[in-house]
Structure formats: structure tokens, C-alpha cells
Structure 1
Amino acid sequence: MTIRNVNEFLAASQQKDASQDAFELESPHMLEVKLNGRVWAKAGSMVAYRGAVNFVRQGMLEQGLGNLLKKAVSGEGTRLMKMEGQGRVYLADRGKKILLLRLAGESIVVNGNDVLAFEDGISNEITMMRKVAGMLSGGLFNIRLSGRGIVAISCHYEPLALPVKPGQAVFTDPNSTVAWSGSLTPDVVANISLGTLIGRGSGESIQLKFSGTGWVVVQPYEEVYMQRQG
């Protein structure tokens, strides 16, 4: 372990401005948002800020009536907040690795628990997987992000992106699935023999099947999603 004096530590740990983009990684686990207007972020993800910044919890109708109804039916959803003003905001999500993706008019679907932040020009829509929600104790909801701008998503450890090609379906554990291309609509399949062998509580007995052309990102970790009450 390297021992540094205070000045050496500060020099190595201080904020870096290596990009002109609104989103910049200060470390693999810390996101800096150069705020000049409005950005959406996961509620509770702010760890520090400076400047004139207001944090406002997303209103019930701001997600649109369709999203509101889906949240009411499923009892699920992701809590977002608006960060408005001018300044620097630093975001993190339980030490998870942060990935930055630039959308140029396309759509991606992200596990709702893994959405960290996105620029104001990105539209969001909650998508439900009722069959998975009924089979897994915590359920599963996703957010479709579309438009132009930068999206920050989080994952545990190093992610793996798997290509999906015609005739070459990819099967994933729902609890390890982080995101996939908007061109794909996964099917929910149940491995009855595996479920009988290891019990209903195991995520491996329920899988997502991705077919067509696109990609899917998985993490080397099975995350447990707690269903929100009320």
C-alpha cells in the first residue's frame, strides 16, 4: 500500500476536467454532472455538489399517465429526481461501476434499478415484465430511454456485452441483466427441470430470452430487487 502525504493525496484525488460533456467520470464509481439547466438522476444518488442547484423529487404526473398507471399496477418504479440550476453534482450508486452511453436517436432498455442519470433531452418510459414480477419475489421493471444525449447506468463489477444475432438467441438471468438494445423484446422462459431441482426461489429457473438483432449487457452479480410498498 502506497503512503502519501496530504498534498499528494489531494493531487491524486481532486476533480478532473478532461471532457466538455455534461457527464464525466471522476472515477469508475463516481459521476460528475456539469449542470447547466436540468438533468434527471436516481433519487438518493447525490453525494456532493457545489453551485446553485435544486433537487426536486419527480412528480407523479411527470412520467406521464401511462407510466403512472404501470407503477400503480405493479407497485414498482424507479425514484427519479430533477437536478436544476448551475453547478457541479457528484453521483454514485452504492459503489457500483458507472457506464456512460451516448444515444444518437436510438433506444435502450435499462433495468430500472440500474438507471443513474440521463440528460434532459432523453425520454423515459417504464416497461413492465409482469410474468417475471409474478415469479420473482422482487419483481422486475425496466425503463426505455430514447433520444439524443448521455445516459449513465450502473452495474456491479465489470459488465459483459453479448451480441444477439438471428438464430443465436441469448438467455440471461433477470437478476443479472443490466440493459439491452431497444430493438429487442425479451421473452420470459421457465426452466421447469431446473426449478424443480433447485427450488422456486432461484432466479436461474426463470430466464430472459433475447432473439433477433441487437445486444444485451449482463453483470457478474445477481441483484435482489425489493418491491416497493405503497
Structure 2
Amino acid sequence: MGKYTIEEFVKQTKQDERENEFFELETPRVLEVNLTDQVWAKTGSMISYTGQIKFERERLLDHGVGQMFKKALTGEGASLMKARGQGRLYLADQGKKITIFELNGESITVNGNDLLAFEPGIEWDIRLMKRVAGMMAGGLFNVKLSGTGRVAITSHYEPLTLLVKPGEPVITDPNATVAWSENLTPDFRTDVSFRTFIGRGSGESIQMEFKGEGFVIVQPFEEVVMTGNSSS
């Protein structure tokens, strides 16, 4: 195992050349986009492409209202690129596992750093968590995606979905929280005793609390994103 002739290796790892759907998992960590028009993708996620494709960068702050405030908090880490043209586009993000959702008139909110790509027909809006932006390295933000079409998100290792039920709130670490259902709005709380108990930095004392009915997707990894700006 792990030993191949060159011919065997190419056969085992080559791309799937059949006509596939718009979003297709080429491997669990590589997304193939069969592009005929355009797609939104995380800036820097392109690893390869064939055909005639042009890339344009657009910061999330260029979309929607409050651009200057969003720019100050999200920094360079919050950006998307638009790929236009025809061909096959391969996307990946630091070897993270990729999950594809098909929205049917629904919404899902995704941590900004865990959004990989989505179809152009999907409506999107940046949501800043203003109350905690000054407390968390990287400035926590998320993207609400709505409509009909495919969305690809990423997680470190296997994601876990936690069900939120009335009277049974779910508490998560913001750095391990990937996405949540449309009818949930997280509250933030601090727990100094918890921070003291585990003996870590102040970021550990911030927790997300989900109440109501829905689901939260978490990953077994605390992802701290450092951006170009810092908040005090």
C-alpha cells in the first residue's frame, strides 16, 4: 500500500472526465465545478482549472450595506472571488473536508471561513457578530445563504450535526462552529470560570448559545483565523 507504478498512480488519482453535475466531489477534499457561466468561491481556493476561466476578486464588504464597518472588522480574510467562463474548476481549502448542500428555497448560515463556493443564483449576505468582534481574533463573521442551488462548505475532519430542541439549548465554541439552520440566531456569553478551568487565553471564555429548534454543525477543531486587521 502506498507503492504504485506511475501508470497505477495516474489511474488511481486522475480526475473523473465524465460529464458531472455543477458541483461534484472529485475527492472528499477537492470540489469540481463544471462551469458554464459563473460561480462564487473563496478567494485563494482555486487549485487547478481547464478551459477558459477568468477570476475576479470581490471582498464580502463590497456586497450589501455597512461596507466600511465590515471592512474594519473582517479585514483581508473576508473575501470571495467570482469565476466566469467555461471549463472545469477545482477548489480546495487547506485540505479540509467538503460537504455539498442543495438548498430548496431554504437558508443556512455559514461561518465565513468555512464557505467554499456557491451557485450564482444563491442570495447571500454578510452578517457581522458585532458584540464579539472586539473579543475574538480574526473578527467573527458569517454568511447567510438563501434560495435554490448548491452550496459547498468545509470542515476540519468529519463534521458533527447537533440538534437544537426547545428547552435544550446547544452551547458551542465559536472557533469550532461551522454552520447553523435558518431559524436559529446564536447568543454569545462569556464564562470566566470555564476559561480559568482550562487555563487558556481569553478567547476560550466566549461561547455560542443556540436556542429554539434546528441544527448546528461543528467540527472537531478550533479554527482561529487571523486577518489583516486586529481589533482591540
The answer to whether residue 15 in structure 2 is matched with residue 12 in structure 1 is no
Question: Who is 1:74 aligned against?
Answer: 73
**C-alpha deviation, 1:11, in angstroms:** 1.2
Determine if contact 2:109/2:179 at 8 Å carries over to the other structure: yes
Which residue number in structure 1 is paired with residue 173 of structure 2? 173
**2:116–2:153 Cα contact (<8 Å) kept:** yes
Structure 2 equivalent of residue 84 of structure 1: 84
How much has 1:119 moved relative to structure 2?
A: 0.3
Output one character per residue of 1:92-138: Cα deviation in whole Å (capped at 9) or x when no partner.
10111111111111110100001110000011111011222222222
- Indicate if the aligned counterparts of 1:67 and 1:125 stay in contact, CA closer than 8 A: no
Residue 201 to residue 130, structure 1, CA distance change in 2 (3 Å): farther
Partner of 2:182: 182
Retained in 1: the 8 A contact 2:156–2:220? Answer: yes
2:143 is aligned with what amino acid?
I
Give the partner amino acid of 1:41: A
Which secondary structure state, in structure 1, belongs to the residue aligned with residue 38 of structure 2?
strand
Cα distance in 2 between the residues matched to 1:45 and 1:114: 11
1:34-92, Cα deviation, whole Å (9 max, x unpaired):
0000100011110100101111112677513x152441342446211110010001001
1:227 maps to 227
The question of whether the paired residues in 2 share the 8 Å contact of 1:70 and 1:126 is answered with no
Q: How do residues 8-47 of structure 1 correspond to structure 2 at under 5 angstroms? A: 8-16=8-16, 20-47=20-47
1:69 to 1:95, Cα distance in 2 relative to 1, 3 A: same
Residue 135 of structure 1: aligned partner: 135
Take 1:59 and 1:216, find their aligned partners in 2: how far apart are those partners? 26
The 1:131/1:122 distance shift into structure 2, 3 A limit, reads same
TM-score between both structures, scaled by the size of structure 2: 0.91
Q: How has the CA–CA distance of structure 1 residues 67 and 7 changed in structure 2, closer, same or farther, with 3 Å as cutoff?
A: farther
Please give the alpha-carbon distance, in whole angstroms, between the structure 2 residues aligned to 1:144 and 1:93.
20
Q: Which blocks of at least 5 consecutive residues in structure 2 are unaligned? A: none
Unpaired runs of at least 5, structure 1: none
Cα 1:155–1:60 change in 2 (3 A) is closer
So what's the TM-score if we normalise by structure 1? Answer: 0.92
- Give the 3 Å change call, closer, same or farther, for CA 200–67 of structure 1 in structure 2: farther
- Between the aligned partners of 2:173 and 2:19, the Cα distance in structure 1 is 35
Structure 2 equivalent of residue 116 of structure 1: 116
> What is the distance in 2 between the residues matched to 1:193 and 1:214?
29
Asked if the contact 1:164/1:215 (under 8 Å) is kept, the reply is: yes
Q: Is the Cα–Cα contact under 8 Å of residues 72 and 229 in structure 2 kept in the other structure?
A: no
Equivalent residue letter for 1:47: I
Are residues 1:125 and 2:125 paired? yes
What's the CA shift for 1:226? 1.0
Equivalent position amino acid for 2:16 in 1: K
Amino acid at match of 1:71: K
Runs of 4+ in 1 over 6 A off after TM superposition: none
Cα distance in 2, alignment partners of residues 227 and 5 from structure 1: 43
**Conservation of the 8 A alpha-carbon contact between 1:116 and 1:152:** yes
